[in-house]
Amino acid sequence: MIIHGWARNAPSLTLPENVGFHVGRNTPYKYVVVNIHYLSILKNDYSGNQLIMTRKPLTYHAGVMLGGSGRIYLQPKTNSIRTPFSCQYNGPPISIFAVRVHAHQWGRVNSLYRVRKGEISQIVKGDPQWPQSFYPLASPVDIQNNDYVIGQCVYDNTEDRVVTVGSTHRDEMCNVYSMYSYDSTIQSSNRKTMNSPPIQMCWDNAFSSIARLIPADSEIPPLKPPEISGAPSGPHAHSEHGMYIRIQSANDDSSYEDYIDEVENMRHRNNEVDHFDINKILSQIGLPEYEYVDAQNYDYLLPNHVTYGKGRTVKLHNAKLMSSDLYTNVEIWPDVKSLPAQLGEVGGIALNNANNELVVFHRGSRNWESKYFDEYRFRNEVYGPIEDDVLIHVDTRTGQTKYRWGAKMFYMPHGLTIDHEGNFWLTDVAMHQVLMFQPNNLTHPALTVGEKFRSGAGSSRLCRPADIAVMKNGDFFVADGYCNSRIIKFNRKGEYLMEWGSSMTRKVDSDGFPLPNEWNIVHSIALNENAQLLCGADRENFRIQCFNLTTGEFLRQIRVEKKDKIGAIYAIEFVPKANGTILFAVTGGVQTSNKKVYMVDASTGDILTSFDSNPHLISPHDITVSANAREIYVGELASSPANALHKFELSKHTDLPTETFNRRFNINDKNFRISVIIMAAFAVPVLASVIIGCIIRIRNLRKTNRLNAFLDDVKSRDTSYNSALGGWMNRRKGFSRLEQYSDGENEPLDTNVGDDSNNNSGNEPITVKVKQQPAALNNKKDTVQFQIAENL
């Protein structure tokens, strides 16, 4: 049973004089569990609860009565839905002095009344959207034998679905906790023992006729007390379980929320107070078992990220694990004179499979301006297609243009991907289409997804698609990002398979950022099939979100900068031939003061390093990485060819670790000291044996020298073996040393293998281990056939 609770911004509660909860061996409360839960890090926070224990008997004992109902059925789009509850009290007089109300996001007001001899009196009327704490009453309300206690919860269901009672944030609850005092010396016929509280539950509507006495004004929420400092009211002020006031989140730290809700829901099901097994509750909601530890400082065990349960994490920007000068800008690349004069805003870039050509998808003389659009509709009748060749192939070594194509075919180029078969996948935000061209036919697309110039949602239309990621089996993902805020999966024939993602709800999570799987422009996506990862650049939310590519289950989100530093993420890409999960990202946008390239371990969210270019990046829009991560390319929304493309190379004579270890050795660590002692114990006898062996060898050497001198007198011979030690050292003469070399298999990003400026197809992998997580999501089975060319 909850015996106390306090939330930030709520007034404090001090028990009345000579009142306390009776805890101990012969009481209902065998032990007290104290939980202080922070949903965000607060500076200068000194809040807490003072728990005073005494062996001195008190005149009055305290108890808590839980009133509420499990009969909740909220019709969609319906307001002022009542769920009454009632009971009749049988016991010694009790005095209610504090009340806590609880409901979820649809709750408007919870109320409690006393009915005595046909007259109804209000005990409390509380707003469940306030910090959920025990609020002291202006004056105590007494309940006597045969009084009726009635109450209700009022809801406004704004959803398009029915909401029922349940243990998650998608369900509702109706709770009114009344804290009371009573004279412990008075016996009652309904009390099991002398020490048990007179009443603990007032559940469901046992006396419905009495409950009809609840007045009509019970639906009106109370005015906010002045003691609730800074607490907003209304539907967006709800802070479940009252940790602090903030905008309500539909996924508030789900581990903690689901745990507390399950505790209350189990109480509802049992209709009585029980001694709940914590691990049973954790198992019920799918969380690992919890072990209590002795009361001592375990701060070093705390993670450096916010945990969402089941492996879902939000990694905060931490210290760089690698040098910031890992990559250097190649200042003489590209050959600007060979680039077309019309090369302007770069939508997408990609390396071909041989890594000897950088393909650039640009907008020619056209810029993305409002004049080209009537909302989402492109004004084709006025402007038509771009006259220039919008795809150019640039030699990665010389920087010279090798080939151009794509004139009069595109209207507003954006994303570019080259798959394992060398096909070109392109998105055009004006056409609202994805087009795939095979390398042997660059005049007509082999596959088209979406309807030309017709924006929309559903399974047959797109709205300003931003990027594509293609699997080895031909299935592909589309970042339908500017209007629809979703990621869609299609099979190789262009048939719709599934999707996930939603637009912004303006709700935030415990870290102050939007909820997982909400998007504010899905601007870029990256695929790692070995790790079963699909990550997306949530551009205007300044984060990367990663999902299981098979099921679409959210796994983690990554921020490349601290919260106080804006970092709009424009593009991401995995290292193509890496055994691990190295991901490169680039930030951009006018709101980002310092645009940089970031190297991220997507399996953990660690920011390994970041770097800038010289001169600085101005408007980066896309990024691509060579197969062995020796070279990185960035395309910009530039006004001239001179600033459109950047090339970064791995710095020479730089050693990189093949794996990133989070643990740091500490000489004060107990295990480390034990290891040193064990090594010393083995080293001492070995060293002694070596010394003894050397002494014996020296003595034998002296005998041998005397023997050699004697032999020299007897017979003249080659003296190259006049030293027994020397002969022993040279007895292997004539054999060549076995040549030892490394094939680079375990040397990722090794710069000492030689100058490999154009040999980008090496197979040195980056080996960062990945721990895959199981996932589950209901796939959408709607199948829509898109236009496919006959030669596909």
**Feature table: binding site for a protein:** 363, 482, 539
- Rounded Cα gap, residues 571 and 548, in angstroms: 19
Supply 522's token pair: 């899905």
Provide the annotated binding site for Ca(2+): 416, 622
Nearest Cα to 749, choosing from 730, 764, 735? 764
3-class DSSP state of 208: helix
Task: Indicate the DSSP class of residue 718.
Answer: -
| Residue set of the binding site for Cu(2+) | 37, 102, 104, 173
- Round to whole Å and give the CA distance between 436 and 604: 33
C-alpha to C-alpha distance for 600 and 466, rounded to whole angstroms = 22
DSSP string, 356-404: SEEEEEE-TT----GGGEETTEE-HHHH-S--S--EEEEETTT--EEEE
What six digits make up the tokens of 326? Answer: 């890992």
- Residue 678: enclosing H or E segment and its boundaries? helix 670-714
Torsion of CA 459, 462, 468, 469, to 10 degrees: -20
DSSP 301: G
**How far, in Å, CA of 722 to CA of 708, rounded?**
6
Least Cα distance to 787 among 484, 534, 544, 451 occurs for: 451
Opening angle at CA 191, ends 119 and 124, nearest 5: 35
Q: Burial letters for 650-673: b for 16+ Cβ neighbours within 10 Å, e otherwise?
A: beeebebebebeeeeeeeeeeeee
Could you count the other beta carbons within 10 Å of the beta carbon of residue 457? 14
- Are the C-beta atoms of residues 142 and 183 closer than 8 Å to each other? no
Following DSSP, what letter does each residue of 214-261 receive, concatenated? S-GGGGSPPPPPTTSTT---STT---GGGS------TTTTHHHHHHHH
> Residues near 349 by Cβ (< 8 Å), separated by ≥ 6?
358, 359, 360, 361, 416, 622, 623, 624, 633, 634, 635, 645
Binding residues: 37, 102, 104, 173, 363, 414, 416, 482, 523, 539, 621-622
Contact predicate 104/252, CB 8 Å? no
Residues 656, 100: Cα–Cα separation, whole Å: 57
DSSP 300: G
CA distance 389 to 344: 12
CA 707 to CA 469: how far, in whole Å? 80
Omega within 30 of 0 (cis) for the link into 334: yes
* Annotation: binding site for Zn(2+): 414, 523, 621
Report the alpha-carbon distance of residue 628 to residue 368 in Å, rounded. 34
What token pair was written down for 334?
């590209």
Q: Determine how many CB atoms are found less than 10 A away from the CB of residue 1.
A: 19
First to last CA, the chain: 66
Distance CA 358, CA 369 (A): 27
**∠782-785-787 over CA atoms, to 5°?**
155
Question: 378 has which bridge partners?
Answer: 373
* Structure tokens that stand for 56 in this block: 């001195």
Burial classification of residue 114, based on how many CB atoms lie within 10 Å of its CB (0-12 exposed, 13-18 middle, 19 or more buried): buried
Question: In the block, which residue shows the tokens 């017979």?
Answer: 715
Contacts (Cβ under 8 Å, ≥6 apart) of 26: 193, 195
